[in-house]
Structure 1
């Protein structure tokens, strides 16, 4: 996995349609493992604010629902999408529910954790761990669940200005 390019990794949308992250090549990508019943779920609104502010300049936010932590994301992909849209106002892509740790973890999160191991080791510790991927596909930052999405604005601004 070490030499794998992030753009070669396949993801699935809530309907099961699979595509490569290459679809977002040239964009700044904010990847977040989400859960709509988590203490941090209000961050979905803040992530939407970031998305609206920067989407025309090349930011994409990708929500990856997961149920790895204390059963905070029950429901089907369709139910998760509906809650994300109706309760939190999310318009950015909400992908299929995945696992972010363990034997069945999604290859994207294996790659993200390898590139940005985190302060206390590579495993994702809770929902709303956030990763920023620059326009060239480099994983440049990892943020903790409690980190406010608005505090990422300065870093996003810098990355959006880079060619």
Structure 2
């Protein structure tokens, strides 16, 4: 199965397909409105504005699976993102990104690029790793998404080429994005 065969639901409840983004460079990111990493929306929007005309699409998937940090309805999420961060990139319906009910897109992404650990050389990587070890030790096992704002970079052929964990800023992706555009 190709990544482009995966069906989606937009934040407005319309059916969509990843096939609509075939030939584009994609950043697929799980998001939340009440997370310490929520300000990453701002940098993601900047990347979108900078590279969209060259073929970059950013696809945001709100999820309430991590500390219940996305409790609102889809309409609340959309309003929050637009009002607070000026988000214009596509957002999708609230989505499970890990566990038995994980959306097929996130199952595919994590099978292609499993969790490789946080960079514990950084303070945020060290902090998130320690937090998860203490509060949710089972969550560190397996290939799944570990927290909000895990970012997957997909090339124009639909290959998952890079995974950036929550603790990595969107601006850290610039070189990898430019290499694919």
TM-score bracket, normalised by the shorter chain, equals: over 0.9
TM-score, with structure 2 as normaliser: 0.85
Secondary structure of the structure 2 residue equivalent to 1:128: coil
1:89 lines up with 2:110 in the alignment: no
Separation in 1, partners of 2:16, 2:148 = 24
Distance 2:176 2:101 in 1: 31
Cα RMSD between the aligned structures?
A: 0.7
2:30 and 2:3 map into 1 onto residues whose CA distance is 16
| TM superposition outliers: structure 1 runs of 4+ over 2 Å | none
Which residue matches 2:145? 124
Give the counterpart of 1:101 among 70, 77, 98.
98
Structure 2 gap segments, 5+ residues each = 118-141
Q: CA separation in 2, counterparts of 1:65 and 1:110?
A: 16
Q: Quote the residue 2:165 is aligned against.
A: 144
> In 2, distance between residues paired with 1:61 and 1:123?
20
1:24-68 Cα deviation digits (max 9, x unpaired): 001000000000110000000000000000000000000000000
SS in 1 for 2:161: strand
Q: For 1:72, what is the secondary structure of its paired residue?
A: coil
Matches within 5 A, 1:32-43: 32-43=29-40
Give the aligned length: 157
* Structure 1 unmatched ranges of 5 or more: none
Matches of 2:144 and 2:22, distance apart in 1: 26
Q: Could you list the per-position Cα deviations for residues 93-121 of structure 1 after superposition, in whole angstroms to 9, with x for gaps in the alignment?
A: 11100001111110000000000012144
User: Which residue of structure 2 aligns with residue 18 of structure 1?
Assistant: 15
Output the CA distance in 1 between the equivalents of 2:115 and 2:95: 20
- Whose Rg is larger? 2
Q: Could you tell me which residue of structure 2 aligns to residue 58 of structure 1?
A: 55
